[in-house]
Structure 1
Amino acid sequence: MATSVSAGPTPRNSVVRPALETRLAEENAAYRAGRPLSAARAARNSRGGFSGGVPMHWMRDWPQPFPMVIEAAQGNRLRDIDGNEIVDFCLGDTGAMLGHAPVPVMEAMRRQETRGLTYMLPSEDVERVGELLQDRFGLPCWQVAVTASDANRFALRAARAATGRKRILVFDGCYHGTAEDTLVDLVDGKTVARRSLLGQVQDPSLTTVMIPFNDRAALLAELAMTDIACVIAEPVMTNCGMILPEEGFWEFLRAETRKVGTLLLLDETHTISTGPGGYGRAHDLEPDLFVLGKPVAGGVPAAVWGMSQAVNDKLFAARPESEHGHSGIGTTLAGNALQLACMRATLEELMTPENYARMLSGAEQLDAGIRALIATHGLPWHTARVGARLEVVFSPTSVRNAAEARAAGDVLIENFLHVSLLNRGFLLTPFHNMMLVSPDTTEADIAAFLAAFADVLNLLPLEPAR
């Protein structure tokens, strides 16, 4: 379930920014003091080896002074090389949603290691994993990729092949990995290539249109041109803050896309936090295509993309008899035996109704506790939640699109909350402080987090509203 709740009483206070900058500097100093080994490692790494001192450049985007180096992770706990133990509410930005090193997945890896990891041929797990995906998500035809970025890229090609159309539609503030077609922004009502998109030869705005989320009029205007192959979307937007669908929006979109032959692709890599079948299954959205990455193999790099029978048939009918495969769809390591073994363990033993019940119950407790603290401090904030995934939004009411989400954002407050909570033993995502409850998150963890959150809110320098 997706929920958004206002902060409660009329906000009384605003943040004194110069004083908050001083508090953030103090918290950064405390972070440095508690991690001398990570600091030394960061200094050495910056002089050579990996570009920017990290194996993947996003690891530089954390708000703390330097990344902590992790020694071990188990369940919902991290331990860095300085011996700090952290309760993890980031969970690899959903990649470890079901816990770090989950026992069923580790056992599957150990079984598979003696049988080989990749053959470019199907393993014995293929039939069972296919059945599990059909039953879980409701689509009949499936393929495996290595990442959700790849899965989205392949699914968009399939949508174009099935419809014979070139254009796709995305929502402002979206994120679908590195799929080039989706890396656009909405500027003054026009779709333009994202400024941070490097090395792109063709402007993606030539074949992609972007509109605000929840905007029915804009959706109808684009669909009326009858040249949109596919709408690709998260059912709840999670990359530009959390933006929830307005009542009836998805039912409206699904009905209107069907009228004009436009396909619906749901990217549920984050919204799988809703329940065992994701948001789409819980709300009967009936997509034509479906993508799930990150957590589907318990943290082992894997993703899946599903299709309706009609899309599948058109895709494979388009395959030239004289050529192998489909150019631009699939990679050699996709569907390897290790992925399939870990996906089977995840789907059978981790993505269970029992585990989701624990996650959702914990998220409800966390949500209620945070809302109570926001109200107590009279802050103009609210919470937004989709299943086990939760965020604090710095506005008194729900945001309905990316423009409102950006207006509500406050990097200084975000950074202060993030570093302060990390200093007290709790890790949130490095962007808009998402919190995710895993099956390993205990009531004691939630109570301890709320105590730390109360402590941090008490440090906020507030000025009474006039």
Structure 2
Amino acid sequence: MTASGVAEQAVQILTARERQRFLERNPRSLALAERARHSLFGGVPMHWMSDWSTPSALFVERAQGARFYDIDGHEYVDFCLGDTGAMFGHSPAPIARAIAEQAGNGLTTMLPGEDAVICGELLAQRFGLPYWQVATTATDANRFVLRWVRAITGRKVILVFDGCYHGTVDEAMVRQRDGHTVHRAGLIGQARNLVQHSRVVPFNDLAALEAALAQNDIAAVLCEPAMTNIGMVLPEPGFMQRVRELTRKYGSLLVIDETHTISTGPGGCTRAWNLEPDFITLGKPIAGGVPCSVYGCTAEMAQDMRLAQQHASEMVHGHGHSGIGTTLSANALAMHCMRANLEQVMTESAYAHMLALAERLADGFRALIGRHQLAWSVSQLGARCEFQFCAQPPKTGAQAEAAFHDSLQMALHLYLINRGVLITPFHNMTLCCPDTTAADVDRLLATLDEGLSELLAIPGARL
């Protein structure tokens, strides 16, 4: 029996139908996939691009707003939006203009321009932290902040929540199994024992968090204010406020990763929930889809960072390498696009539109689940919502993982793709952007309704 209440045999029947449909309607993607296998490892430029529900890679020709078009000429309504990278739509007009403006004025110089100053001011206003630095990816931002917190506290251990997502930072590549911190399954080429300097506790478990912090060796808690990659797991009332209190009590810092939870509003959960972190990290959508990330800190942390820099320089008797920063960080193109995004795209009015449509979608999911008499649940975080194969929204990463029915999820995703609708892979999450319409939401709901009807009509589908 599966958590979803749907028989595996029925899922496989639907999957077989949909795989054949995909192969018949995408001849150019199939031909390009075959060609790609001779030059790209796995036939794709990044190996996880072959992990979608499709039997072969789907190749995109162009994307604009809430839509993209594949090379076979099919149009798709996009609720994945680059898994947040294009959260404000594909190629928003202000970002396209910013790229064109900067294209002839230099892309990277290793020197700042006025855009950098304006971005720093805008970020401080938006998130409430006074000092900012710029990196290229959220992974970089998290990695750099972890160096700072260790230097500031003199401690080495980083605490994360079970099922967290912080890019590919080593310290987050861990899980909790039977109460113990272990390496995340599937790691490639892992040489260092991550358990030495990482500790994992369940989300929403304050007793476990305090027991871990009470060992007085944790430099920082690195966390999403709501978990988004193991399936959505929202904090229980007061949980994040208590996390802040406990970190202060035990001398640990609090790092809030808003990379996905920026869906909540213009200042993320940090401003919406008054979280008071020591550091914020944020990547993906901050420059409108151009690779860029940022991290911000309090005035107290900035002073401690200066002292850490001074100490490091004294230790090496002059110039040293901090291990923080890459050559393309804060390049001129990214800074110009980030400025345009903060000023013209990532606005209160854009969020008002996105949140209203996400509410419509979440309500529609609930109605659909009820109509088909399925014991599933729906969670929403601002512009982001998800349906999960469990009767009640999960409280921990382990509960969210226990509700997985991977083959069912992939069958439903493929059904949607074959009918011109895309949602986020690996779980059932959606995003609404400023270009999403009510008709787009209704189309997703109607198509999913049709798919569930076909699936549940298969003899023996219900458990």
TM-score (norm 2): 0.95
- In structure 1, the partner of 2:390 is 395
- In structure 2, the partner of 1:218 is 208
Structure 1 runs (4+) deviating above 3 angstroms are: 321-326, 462-466
Q: CA deviation at 1:14?
A: 3.5
Task: Provide the C-alpha distance between the structure 1 equivalents of 2:404 and 2:184, rounded to a whole number of angstroms.
Answer: 19
2:380 equivalent to 1:385: yes
- In structure 1, the partner of 2:57 is 67
- In structure 2, the partner of 1:7 is none
User: Does the 8 Å contact 2:6/2:462 carry over to 1?
Assistant: no
2:29 equivalent to 1:38: yes
**Cα distance change on mapping 1:58 and 1:464 into 2, 3 Å:** closer
2:173 equivalent to 1:204: no
- In structure 1, the partner of 2:361 is 366
User: Does the 8 Å contact 1:16/1:461 carry over to 2?
Assistant: no
Task: Provide the C-alpha distance between the structure 1 equivalents of 2:77 and 2:323, rounded to a whole number of angstroms.
Answer: 40
Deviations 1:88-123 (A, max 9, x none): 000000000001011101111111112101100001
Deviations 1:26-59 (A, max 9, x none): 011111111010011111212x211111111110
- Pick from 147, 154, 162: which aligns with 2:144? 154
User: Does the 8 Å contact 2:456/2:462 carry over to 1?
Assistant: no
- In structure 2, the partner of 1:4 is none
2:279 equivalent to 1:284: no
The one-letter code of the counterpart of 1:184 is V
Q: CA deviation at 1:200?
A: 2.9
The one-letter code of the counterpart of 1:333 is L
**Cα distance change on mapping 1:144 and 1:177 into 2, 3 Å:** same
- Pick from 310, 332, 337: which aligns with 2:300? 310
2:291 equivalent to 1:296: no
**Range with greater deviation from structure 2 (398-407 or 15-24):** 15-24
Deviations 1:149-179 (A, max 9, x none): 0000001111111111111100110111111
User: Does the 8 Å contact 1:356/1:439 carry over to 2?
Assistant: yes
**Cα distance change on mapping 1:465 and 1:177 into 2, 3 Å:** closer
Task: Provide the C-alpha distance between the structure 2 equivalents of 1:154 and 1:432, rounded to a whole number of angstroms.
Answer: 29
**Cα distance change on mapping 1:325 and 1:141 into 2, 3 Å:** farther
**Range with greater deviation from structure 2 (370-379 or 318-327):** 318-327
SS in 2 for 1:142: strand
Q: CA deviation at 1:277?
A: 0.3
Task: Provide the C-alpha distance between the structure 1 equivalents of 2:184 and 2:305, rounded to a whole number of angstroms.
Answer: 30
The one-letter code of the counterpart of 1:43 is E
The one-letter code of the counterpart of 1:190 is H
**Range with greater deviation from structure 2 (308-317 or 117-126):** 308-317
- In structure 1, the partner of 2:180 is 190
- In structure 1, the partner of 2:404 is 409
**Cα distance change on mapping 1:426 and 1:323 into 2, 3 Å:** farther
User: Does the 8 Å contact 2:7/2:461 carry over to 1?
Assistant: no
- In structure 1, the partner of 2:73 is 83
SS in 2 for 1:165: coil
- In structure 1, the partner of 2:9 is 18
Q: CA deviation at 1:278?
A: 0.3
Task: Provide the C-alpha distance between the structure 2 equivalents of 1:226 and 1:423, rounded to a whole number of angstroms.
Answer: 53
- In structure 2, the partner of 1:55 is 45
- In structure 1, the partner of 2:336 is 341
Q: Any gaps of 5 or more consecutive residues in structure 2?
A: none
- In structure 2, the partner of 1:92 is 82
Task: Provide the C-alpha distance between the structure 1 equivalents of 2:175 and 2:398, rounded to a whole number of angstroms.
Answer: 11
Q: CA deviation at 1:182?
A: 1.1
Q: CA deviation at 1:465?
A: 7.0
Matches within 5 A, 1:123-138: 123-138=113-128
TM-score (norm 1): 0.95
Q: CA deviation at 1:66?
A: 1.3
Matches within 5 A, 1:139-150: 139-150=129-140
Higher relative contact order (CA closer than 8 Å, sequence separation 6+):
1
**Cα distance change on mapping 1:345 and 1:403 into 2, 3 Å:** same
Q: CA deviation at 1:326?
A: 4.6
User: Does the 8 Å contact 1:20/1:461 carry over to 2?
Assistant: no
2:322 equivalent to 1:354: no
- Once superposed, what is the RMSD of the aligned Cα atoms? 1.4
User: Does the 8 Å contact 1:235/1:245 carry over to 2?
Assistant: yes
Task: Provide the C-alpha distance between the structure 2 equivalents of 1:171 and 1:131, rounded to a whole number of angstroms.
Answer: 31
- Pick from 242, 255, 263: which aligns with 2:245? 255
Task: Provide the C-alpha distance between the structure 2 equivalents of 1:452 and 1:241, rounded to a whole number of angstroms.
Answer: 22
Identity %: 52
SS in 1 for 2:33: helix
Q: CA deviation at 1:308?
A: 1.2
2:23 equivalent to 1:28: no
- Pick from 237, 243, 249: which aligns with 2:233? 243
- In structure 1, the partner of 2:371 is 376
SS in 1 for 2:114: coil
Q: How many positions carry a matched residue from both structures?
A: 453
SS in 2 for 1:128: helix
